[in-house]
């Protein structure tokens, strides 16, 4: 493999366990994984669980399970950020002792109010450095006396230029930044410190993450420099948007990896689809194995523009992967979406060949294939109105049933019998086929009717037709 870097690559995926693994997070994990494997590097996992009020073991388990389902393995054991909190606090105190940070005795609620009111007044909130002017000996005495205080990092003069591997050079004037809090008044460190400390401890060489973190990066670079640590390379991936070009969210439908698994999307299909959201292998390929994606992946090929999540494209891609499964593999994948025992109901010879071409997500089987295993509980109103327009529909069903009793019970024999009856009555075959379809499936659409009849068997077909005819004669269709 050729390499994008001369140093051993170490990347990380660092989700917060405050929710299920989001599609955007999954793509970030995938890009990190592909980059690491392409460079013969390491892909590490860190769970940023310092938000104790919102984090939960359940969400952590979900993240790990979803990554495994996607086929994204990690190196070593996952790191829990909360375990490193004492070291994060020590670093804040070290910056304070070296004069690179200072205590802030301002009322946190007052600062919060100013921060919230700033945008309403057309202003960007920026701390006014009130506490920076307090003499150090006075500040030390107030801290020693136990006066509540936060610790703020002192932004130096100058500017910071970030050489982003995706976006190019991004320059930020330090005058635009405020002296941000690194240690809260309750003694807990903030995200900026924790992420820098942990990335350094884990020897991260490249930070690949969503561009919603871009505003954090100049502050983090300043912390690296203040600690005299090497600064990793950064690559900020544009956000995933919904069809309305707004950030992908629940209003657009499913957003978590687990939801797509429950819809019957194959992991390899979702992985392939996510890889192409903002990245291209440089040719027209769309269906790629993980090995092929790894071989082709490059940060230079990641787009600077946001990608749009296209459910239709995902469904198409999933269908491509489903089509590559053997009947045995397809049946095993479909089993969770079928009634108990349905997988043993003559699937390989009967209903699987009929349903395979008709589903793009396996969850579609739950409703679409139900009639193969159980009599219809109801009849689709639109189909009833169109194909059972009156009591004569019951007579049609009786006539077809009678002609089928002497037919060869295979698709060709059944079709010959029904078409022969239609010709004898001087009607189009559809006038008989559609009413029967509703009787057998409860719906106006299905795979080929005669193949369905062959699969269901004569006993089931006759029972359902008699039941439907009785239903029609009862006046229920009126």
* Sheet strands (E) in 174-266: 181-183, 206-210, 233-237, 240-241
Order of strands across the sheet that contains 79-80: 10-13, 42-47, 79-80
Closest CA to 102 of 144, 153, 175: 153
Structure tokens belonging to residue 71: 């086929």
The owner of tokens 């939801």 is: 259
d(CA 357, CA 86): 58
Q: Is 250 a catalytic residue?
A: yes
Contact by Cβ (8 Å): 172, 121: no
How high is the pLDDT of residue 1? 45
Rg (CA), the chain: 32
- pLDDT tens sequence for the chain (478 residues): 445 656 899 999 999 999 999 999 999 999 999 999 999 999 999 999 988 888 899 999 999 999 999 999 999 999 999 999 999 999 999 999 999 999 999 998 888 888 888 677 667 788 999 999 999 999 999 999 999 999 999 999 999 999 999 999 999 999 999 999 999 999 999 999 999 999 999 999 999 999 999 999 999 999 999 999 999 999 999 999 998 888 887 777 768 999 999 999 999 999 999 999 999 999 999 999 999 999 999 999 999 999 999 999 999 999 999 999 998 899 889 988 987 766 666 555 678 888 899 999 999 988 888 898 889 999 999 999 999 988 999 999 999 999 999 999 999 999 999 999 999 999 999 999 999 999 999 999 999 999 999 999 999 999 999 999 999 999 876 5
Q: Which residue pairs, CB below 8 angstroms and at least 24 apart, start in 378-382?
A: 378/442, 379/438, 379/442, 379/468, 379/471, 379/477, 380/438, 380/442, 380/443, 380/444, 382/444
C-alpha to C-alpha distances, 308 to 22, 239, 242, 273, 314, nearest whole angstrom: 15, 9, 6, 11, 12
- Which H/E stretch holds residue 13? strand 10-13
How high is the pLDDT of residue 345? 60
Q: What are 150's strand-pairing partners?
A: 104
| Phi and psi at residue 232, to the nearest 5° | -70, 165
Helix axes 392-404, 458-473, angle to 10 degrees: 160
How high is the pLDDT of residue 4? 62
Contact by Cβ (8 Å): 373, 345: yes
d(CA 395, CA 390): 10
| Phi and psi at residue 106, to the nearest 5° | -65, 150
d(CA 323, CA 315): 12
d(CA 389, CA 392): 8
Residue 139 Cα to chain centre, angstroms: 49
Residue 354 exposure: Cα atoms within 13 Å on the Cβ side: 24
How high is the pLDDT of residue 11? 98
How high is the pLDDT of residue 121? 65
pTM: 0.90
Choice among 245, 250, 305, 405 that is catalytic: 250
| Phi and psi at residue 154, to the nearest 5° | -90, 115
Helix (H, G, I), strand (E, B) or coil at 302: strand
- Which H/E stretch holds residue 323? helix 311-323
């Amino acid at each position: 493999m050729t390499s994008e870097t001369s140093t051993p690559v170490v990347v990380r995926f660092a989700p917060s366990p405050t929710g299920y693994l989001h599609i955007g997070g999954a793509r970030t994990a995938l890009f990190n994984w592909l980059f690491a494997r392409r460079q013969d590097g390491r892909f590490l996992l860190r769970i940023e669980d310092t938000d104790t009020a919102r984090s939960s073991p359940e969400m952590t388990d979900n993240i790990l399970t979803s990554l495994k389902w996607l086929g994204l393995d990690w190196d070593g054991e996952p790191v829990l950020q909360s375990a490193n909190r004492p070291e994060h606090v020590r670093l804040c105190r070290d910056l304070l002792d070296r004069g690179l940070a200072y205590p802030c005795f301002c009322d946190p609620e007052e600062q919060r109010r100013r921060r919230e009111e700033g945008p309403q007044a057309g202003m960007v909130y920026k701390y006014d450095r009130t506490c920076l002017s307090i003499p150090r000996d006075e500040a030390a005495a107030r801290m020693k006396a136990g006066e509540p205080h936060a610790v703020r990092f002192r932004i130096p003069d100058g500017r910071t230029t970030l050489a982003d591997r995706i976006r190019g050079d991004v320059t930020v004037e330090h005058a635009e930044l405020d002296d941000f809090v690194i240690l809260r008044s309750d003694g807990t460190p903030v995200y900026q410190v924790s992420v820098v400390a942990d990335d350094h401890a884990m020897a991260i060489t490249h930070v690949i993450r969503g561009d919603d973190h871009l505003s954090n990066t100049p502050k983090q670079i300043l912390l690296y420099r203040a600690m005299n640590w090497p600064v990793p390379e950064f690559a900020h991936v544009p956000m995933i948007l919904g069809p309305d070009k707004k950030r992908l969210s629940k209003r657009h439908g499913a957003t978590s990896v687990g939801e797509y698994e429950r819809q019957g999307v194959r992991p390899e299909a979702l992985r392939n689809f996510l890889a192409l959201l903002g990245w291209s292998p440089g040719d027209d390929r769309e269906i790629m194995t993980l090995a092929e994606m790894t071989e082709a992946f490059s940060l230079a090929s990641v787009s600077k523009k946001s990608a749009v999540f296209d459910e239709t494209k995902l469904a198409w891609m999933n269908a491509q992967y489903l089509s590559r499964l053997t009947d045995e593999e397809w049946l095993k994948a479909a089993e969770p979406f079928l009634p108990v025992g349905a997988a043993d109901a003559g699937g390989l010879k009967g209903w699987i060949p009929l349903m395979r071409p008709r589903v793009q997500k396996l969850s579609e089987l739950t409703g679409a294939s139900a009639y193969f295993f159980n009599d219809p509980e109801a009849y689709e109103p639109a189909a009833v109105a169109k194909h059972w327009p009156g009591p004569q529909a019951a007579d049609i069903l009786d006539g077809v049933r009678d002609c089928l009793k002497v037919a060869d019970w295979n698709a060709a024999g059944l079709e010959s019998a029904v078409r022969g009856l239609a010709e004898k009555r001087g009607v189009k075959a559809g006038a008989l086929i559609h009413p029967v379809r509703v009787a057998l499936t409860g719906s106006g659409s299905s795979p080929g009717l005669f193949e369905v009849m062959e699969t269901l068997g004569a006993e089931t077909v006759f029972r359902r037709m008699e039941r439907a005819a009785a239903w029609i004669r009862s006046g229920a269709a009126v």
